[in-house]
């Protein structure tokens, strides 16, 4: 029975929606796209890969070849688990990070976002708890919220999630009788923090999760996009029974194909296939065939090297600009991936500052997008993956102008009363470029 609600709504079906739709909300990242796509705005907001660096003509030729040679099959329904050919190629990709598995262990999905959704659908009941880094990926937070789960953030520092804090949080939740279902991690060049989980902590966290019967969800879209040194091998390379590994071609190839995958223990894999078939019947056959052709005949490792060099140059441009224009602030120094995590001065609010930044023709993502509890107002995420180095420098110059205006305004009205500082959730000591070494 629907419950009458006060007020009016333009949606005549408002009272008929399932209770879980209350967890659906707009992404602060997606809401920026309309503004950030204007040519006069320097967007440091979205994590869009620079696909123009791909050999577009060669990819087009492969699409034509697939259609000419296998068109009828490419345009037909396919297997819910994905084509065996692509799953074989995926094993080759994962081997670069120390993962050895069988072709039957892989489930192809419509981007790794669908894999996230399927795992959440299989495991989360209303009121369940998901442990996640603090901060964490906005797309994952949205999925967990949509299944009426609670996200419990675990603090990070320069070496990633802090094992002692993880243990303490598990104990407090268990003492309160809360069911913990998943531990969600982005161990390599984390989104949004940019940090990498150390090899020692990977082993510690695996042991903690195993001893507490908690499934680890290892999300790894950026692991191959390292700059100077490869990250530690994947957590899944150590534990094949307690980890579901998520991969994607969106960052190392092209997001438009919408092809990702999950590598899961046998029982979970079987349920993932059933859930995927119930959701979409099968992933796109033609997209799988094009990617399979690319991986089998192109120098895809060399192309990843091209991306590494390109993104390293853009990261360096951003760090140089931050040192020049905002030397009094603190930020992370990512060893790969797409993002820098910037911490503002006490009293500044990245979300409140965003409209003024857009007015100055620069966009970023406020830190509040990456916390389930609304924290993160002193932080913002800067993406260096898409803009040119010249645009990055100009964007940081514009951002610095906005920050200075906010600081001056804060100083002007500081005498009216104390302004409570927002506590930091991400302490990133040794990888902070500018002083102080601890971001708090």
Residue 29's pLDDT is 54
State the average pLDDT for the chain.
89
Q: Report d(CA 187, CA 202) in Å as an integer.
A: 8
Beta-bridge mates of residue 244:
217
Q: Report d(CA 122, CA 306) in Å as an integer.
A: 38
Q: Could you tell me which CATH number the domain at 70-297 has? A: 3.40.640.10
Burial of 26 (0-12, 13-18, 19+ CB in 10 A): exposed
Q: Are 89 and 295 in contact (CB under 8 A)?
A: yes
**Residues of the chain below pLDDT 70:** 1-9, 23-37, 414-440
Beta-bridge mates of residue 365:
381
23-52+303-432 is a CATH 3.90.1150.10 domain: yes
Tokens of 26: 């707009």
Residue 17's pLDDT is 77
Q: Report d(CA 426, CA 440) in Å as an integer.
A: 8
Q: Report d(CA 52, CA 38) in Å as an integer.
A: 18
DSSP 341-380: EEEPPTT--HHHHHHHHHHTTEE-EEGGGG-TTS--TTEE
Ramachandran region, residue 231 (left: φ > 0; alpha: ψ -120 to 50; beta: rest): beta
Residue 425's pLDDT is 43
In the DSSP assignment, the letter for residue 431 is: T
Upstream peptide bond of 329 is cis (omega within 30 degrees of 0): no
| Strand, helix or coil for residue 439 | coil
User: With pLDDT > 90 as the criterion, what percentage of the chain qualifies?
Assistant: 77
Pairing status of strand 330-331 against strand 339-343: antiparallel
Q: Report d(CA 377, CA 422) in Å as an integer.
A: 7
218-236: per-residue pLDDT in tens? Answer: 999 999 999 999 999 999 9
86-126: per-residue pLDDT in tens? Answer: 999 999 999 999 999 999 999 999 999 999 999 999 999 99
20-77: per-residue pLDDT in tens? Answer: 777 666 655 555 556 666 788 999 998 999 999 998 988 999 999 999 999 899 899 9
Q: Report d(CA 68, CA 171) in Å as an integer.
A: 59
C-alpha radius of gyration, the chain, whole number: 22
CB atoms within 10 A of CB 61: 12
Stretch (H or E) spanning 434: none
DSSP 231-290: PPPPGGGT-SSSEEEEEESTTTT-GGG--EEEE--HHHHHHHHHHHHHHHSS--HHHHHH
Q: Which candidate, 263, 247, 245, places its Cα nearest to that of 206?
A: 245
Residue 394's pLDDT is 98
* Per-domain boundaries in the chain: 23-52+303-432, 70-297
């Amino acid at each position: 029975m629907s419950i009458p609600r006060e007020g009016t709504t333009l949606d005549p079906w408002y009272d008929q929606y399932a209770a879980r739709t209350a967890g659906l909300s707009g992404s602060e990242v997606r809401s920026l796209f309309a503004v950030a796509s204007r040519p006069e705005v320097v967007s440091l907001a979205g994590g869009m890969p620079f696909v123009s660096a791909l050999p577009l003509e060669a990819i087009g030729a492969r699409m034509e070849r697939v259609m000419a040679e296998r068109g009828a099959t490419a345009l037909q329904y396919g297997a819910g688990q994905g084509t065996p050919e692509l799953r074989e190629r995926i094993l080759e990709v994962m081997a670069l990070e120390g993962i050895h598995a069988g072709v039957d262990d892989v489930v192809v999905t419509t981007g790794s976002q669908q894999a996230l959704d399927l795992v959440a659908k299989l495991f989360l009941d209303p009121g369940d708890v998901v442990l996640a880094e603090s901060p964490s990926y906005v797309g994952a937070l949205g999925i967990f919220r949509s299944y009426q789960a609670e996200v419990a953030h675990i603090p990070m520092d320069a070496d990633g999630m802090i094992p002692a804090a993880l243990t303490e949080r598990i104990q407090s939740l268990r003492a309160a009788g809360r069911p913990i279902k998943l531990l969600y991690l982005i161990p390599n060049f984390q989104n949004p923090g940019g940090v990498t989980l150390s090899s020692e902590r990977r082993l510690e966290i695996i042991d903690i999760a195993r001893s507490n019967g908690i499934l680890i969800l290892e999300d790894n879209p950026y692991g191959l996009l390292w700059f100077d040194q490869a990250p530690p091998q994947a957590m899944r390379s150590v534990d094949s029974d307690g980890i579901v590994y998520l991969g994607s071609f969106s960052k190392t190839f092209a997001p438009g194909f919408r092809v990702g995958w999950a590598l899961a223990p046998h029982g979970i894999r079987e349920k993932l296939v059933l859930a995927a078939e119930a959701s979409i019947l099968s992933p796109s056959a033609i997209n799988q065939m094009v990617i399979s052709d690319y991986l089998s005949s192109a120098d895809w490792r060399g192309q990843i090297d091209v991306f590494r060099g390109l993104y390293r140059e853009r990261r360096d441009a951003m760090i140089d600009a931050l040192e020049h224009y905002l030397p009094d602030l603190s930020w992370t120094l990512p060893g790969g991936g797409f993002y820098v995590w910037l911490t503002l001065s006490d009293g500044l609010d990245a979300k409140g500052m965003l409209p003024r930044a857009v007015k100055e023709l620069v966009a970023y993502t406020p830190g509040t997008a990456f916390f389930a509890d609304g924290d993160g107002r002193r932080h913002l995420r800067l993406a260096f993956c898409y803009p040119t180095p010249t645009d990055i420098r100009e964007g940081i110059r514009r951002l610095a102008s906005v920050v200075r205006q906010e600081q001056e305004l804060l100083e002007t009205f500081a005498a009216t009363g104390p302004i409570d500082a927002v506590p930091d959730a991400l302490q990133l000591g040794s990888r902070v470029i500018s002083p102080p070494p601890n971001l708090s």
